[in-house]
Structure 1
Amino acid sequence: MEVRLGFLISVTVILTIVDRVNSVSASCHFSVVDDDKLYNYTLDSPIPFFPHGVQSEDGFYKVAANETVLWFQLCDGMIFNHDPPRCVDCWDCVGASCCDMGSSALVSNNIGGYDVCTTIGRASSMDMNIIDRKNPNTGVIVKMSSSGLKFNCSLSVSVICDPNRVQGPHLLEKTGKCDYATVLTHPSGCAKIEHVHGKAWGWFGTLGIIILCLFGAYLLVGAAYRYIKLGVRGIHIMPNLDFWTSLPQSTQSLFASLLHKFRGSSHGHRSTYSPVDF
């Protein structure tokens, strides 16, 4: 009985871990199509010199401004192997020290001379979007949030694409009562670009579809009017039938006229002088 209970507990733990890993991994993958290009972002995928992708190998990123200190980790929960936060009190946190795997962002504010921490993001609540719609390869914004008893908080991290360097985080900004934003430059912010053929009509294709739809509506409305109001039957139900039947001949005459003018101009003008025999 004890063996069976231990087995069930082990299976439950494993499934929980797998589900958490899948949800976090999915939140760090993002794709967008622009014209004929597909931009794929995978922040947690290994790249040269960065086997963990955008994730900090220290277990967390840290940025400070004035009397506010912010810790966060992208695509995972924070791990404090060194320099853990020192908080007198913890608001809306999971665990006594706010250093558990469930928190992906933590902020400390100095209130009345005491450092008070608040969880502002969780690994399961990450969302991604591109920074600039006109230039998708600029990078992405990763937003994480946390809902608690006292505050609804969030953190937005702009991951700027730079294939050659890592910089930041820097420029900590408070955008709301419990909302923060910062910037990180990292090669993982660069998208893998694939060309998509035959999936984007473009402006010319869209214009052609609009013209065909308008032409079809014209024929349908005209035929209905002639059938109901004028009582026309047969092929003459088509509006402006004489114009459509004469259209091929008119087109042929137009091309013939253009061809005649082109051939005439290619010969040049003839000399007005004629040879005279003496």
Structure 2
Amino acid sequence: MVDSLTFNICDNLTIQGEVAEIDRCPSDTRVCLTKINQKQEQEDRIVAVIPLGDGLNVNLTKLSSPTGLSITMHGQPYPSGSDNAKDQTFNLKLICDENASDPKFVSYDGSLAEVEWTNPAACGSEVGDGSDNDSGNDGDSEGDEEEESVGSGIGWFFLVILLAFIAYFVLGAYHNYTTYGATGMDLIPHRDFWQEVPYMMSDVVSHLCSSARPRRSSNRGGYIAV
């Protein structure tokens, strides 16, 4: 009896069209164990097809000794519909090593299949301790805090200006009312000045426009009297 284990931790296994449907795992399987009966001078016969895991139930655990990553996938109970069915589990231990090797099938006890695989990709968690990212995040945080501080300072400045204007008009109106008995438009403090403001602004705008408008030079011929 030969056990053949096929797995893909990133996607579902590719369906092999030349294999009968009864002799292959379901389409949503990522780990499939096939038990093959081999006899001399006879064609191989598939005895059992066991889906050990799918992409729906995946657990990741960081390994410390040896350094690496443990990936656990869970599958449906097998045999399906049997009172003696056992939950199927697949465990892949990615072990940190500079030299990559082929996956090594360790064991299968009827419920749990274990595979070990040494690969440099498992050392990714050791490359840097995240200090660079943390410092980058700290820099972003400091920048956000500085921007927020500047923005809040400008907001407070305009708020103070607005409150000062409100206080100016309220106190001025109160003064005109209590001192001169003014009513209506006469309550506005320095009313003559505020009436002239639109005209002054119009003069300023006209002056700016005339200054920005390019001057045309005259190239007409003529003479100078001497």
Q: Which has the larger radius of gyration?
A: 2
Q: Greater RCO between the two (CA within 8 Å, min separation 6)?
A: 1
Tell me the TM-score normalised to structure 2 length.
Answer: 0.44
- Would you tell me which structure has more helix in proportion to its own residues? 2
Tell me the TM-score normalised to structure 1 length.
Answer: 0.37
